[in-house]
């Protein structure tokens, strides 16, 4: 595998790193190449933890900014290697990871190499296992082993945001709602109790649920509560004694973990509810001076982030954080994932201008 050429354009770097498969759990090859490339840069102090690489400037600046991006992707579905597309006169790079979020990582790598003396000190973070369970996330691991590396006055996560600034993020909760019955032969159904039939009220509550729009520090976050998986049944001639509905609750960053969990339990009052995953959101953080300078410099109108992102990890540590990266979030994980080259270049210009302005 050839070395990464950090003198290439950010678009070419995007093509290169997207063509290196790095589905969650298989990031080592790409992590090795990133580690090799940034370790050769004398202005950066480099630290590695598993397949997470951190590179820091140490210029003695009064302020420090953390800029992070994950290097893993969801599974490939015949969309690697990348290819160039022309859609109605706009040039795109198509392929897995172009949106989520290797175009953002490519911009970061190029700037990490070129910004030898930025106006603030920078901590660059490229991490593994973002697309899977939170306990595997490279930032989670790094926070345990080197919490000092998270010290910053402001953080930027390169999640796809259409080149706009998206403040904070919604929280994310997953729960299993269970209904119970009694098994019997299906020819004598009256002897048993059908757990799948008992799930009907759960689905009715979900169908009738009306999500709320909640304003938090000037940004309006839309909540959502949806069934994402359902399972039950034993055999073709058995009345089932168990049905499980997995629900996903996206909640505004005004709610803490306890409030989010209680809301779900209230909605499904009377049923067996087991919360299996819970990550609180992040408030916008746009009142921080560095955040305001950043928004003004890139000329963006801040928007809310509806999905959960790792800005929440920085927010939990008291570091205000925003999402800023190329790519349409609607195309993340899509088989037609593609990023406009002009957007990659615009994000690079925005970050470069802000990090080098006096």
Query: At 252, is the secondary structure helix, strand, or coil?
Result: coil
Q: Which two tokens stand for residue 81?
A: 């290697």
C-alpha 172/C-alpha 137 separation (Å) is 15
C-alpha 276/C-alpha 273 separation (Å) is 9
How many secondary structure helices (H) and strands (E) does the chain include? 9, 19
Q: What is the 3-state secondary structure (H, E, C) of 60-103?
A: CCCCEEEEEEECCECCCCCCCCCEEEEECCEEEEECCCHHHHHH
Of 319, 273, 333, 282, nearest in space to 304 by CA: 282
Of 349, 342, 351, nearest in space to 84 by CA: 342
Of 186, 206, 188, 18, nearest in space to 101 by CA: 18
Q: What is the DSSP string of 20-52?
A: S--BTT--HHHHHHHHHHHHT-TT-EEEEETTE
Bridge pairing between strands 219-222 and 213-216: antiparallel
Please answer whether residues 305 and 161 qualify as being in contact, where contact means their C-beta atoms are separated by less than 8 angstroms: yes
**121 labelled catalytic:** no
Catalytic residue from among 27, 128, 130, 153: 130
**49 labelled catalytic:** no
Q: What is the DSSP string of 162-207?
A: TTSEEESB-EEEEEEEEEE-B-EEGGGGGGSB-TTGGGHHHHHHHH
Catalytic center residues: 72, 130
């Amino acid at each position: 595998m050839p070395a990464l050429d950090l003198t290439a354009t950010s678009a070419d770097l995007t093509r290169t790193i997207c063509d290196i498969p790095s589905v969650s759990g298989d990031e080592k090859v790409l992590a090795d190449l990133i580690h090799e490339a940034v370790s050769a840069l004398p202005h950066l102090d480099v630290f590695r933890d598993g397949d997470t690489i951190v590179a820091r400037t140490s210029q003695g600046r009064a302020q420090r900014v953390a800029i992070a991006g994950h290097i893993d992707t969801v599974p490939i579905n015949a969309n690697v290697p990348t290819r160039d597309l022309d859609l109605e006169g706009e040039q795109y790079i198509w392929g897995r990871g172009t949106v989520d979020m290797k175009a953002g990582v490519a911009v970061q790598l190029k700037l990490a190499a070129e910004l030898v003396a930025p106006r603030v000190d920078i901590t660059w973070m490229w991490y593994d296992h973002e697309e899977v369970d939170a306990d595997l996330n490279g930032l989670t691991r790094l926070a345990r082993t080197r919490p000092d590396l998270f010290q910053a006055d402001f953080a930027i996560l390169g999640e796809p945001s259409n080149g706009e600034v998206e403040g904070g993020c919604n929280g994310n909760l997953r729960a299993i709602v269970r209904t119970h019955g009694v098994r019997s032969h299906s020819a004598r159904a009256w002897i048993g109790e059908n757990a799948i039939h008992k799930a009907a009220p759960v689905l009715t509550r979900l169908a009738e649920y009306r999500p709320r729009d909640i304003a938090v520090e000037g940004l309006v976050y839309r909540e959502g509560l949806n069934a994402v998986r359902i399972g039950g049944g034993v055999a073709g001639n058995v009345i089932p004694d168990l049905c499980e509905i997995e629900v996903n609750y996206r909640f505004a960053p005004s709610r803490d973990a306890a409030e989010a969990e209680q809301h779900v339990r209230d909605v499904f009052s009377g049923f067996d509810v087991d919360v299996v995953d819970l990550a609180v959101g992040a408030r916008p953080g746009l009142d921080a001076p560095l955040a305001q300078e950043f928004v003004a410099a890139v000329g963006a109108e801040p928007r809310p982030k509806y999905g959960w992102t790792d800005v929440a990890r920085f927010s939990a540590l008291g570091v205000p954080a925003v999402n800023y990266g190329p790519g349409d979030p609607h195309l993340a994980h899509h088989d037609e994932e593609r990023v406009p080259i002009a957007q990659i270049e615009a994000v690079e210009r925005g970050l470069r201008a802000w990090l080098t302005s006096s």
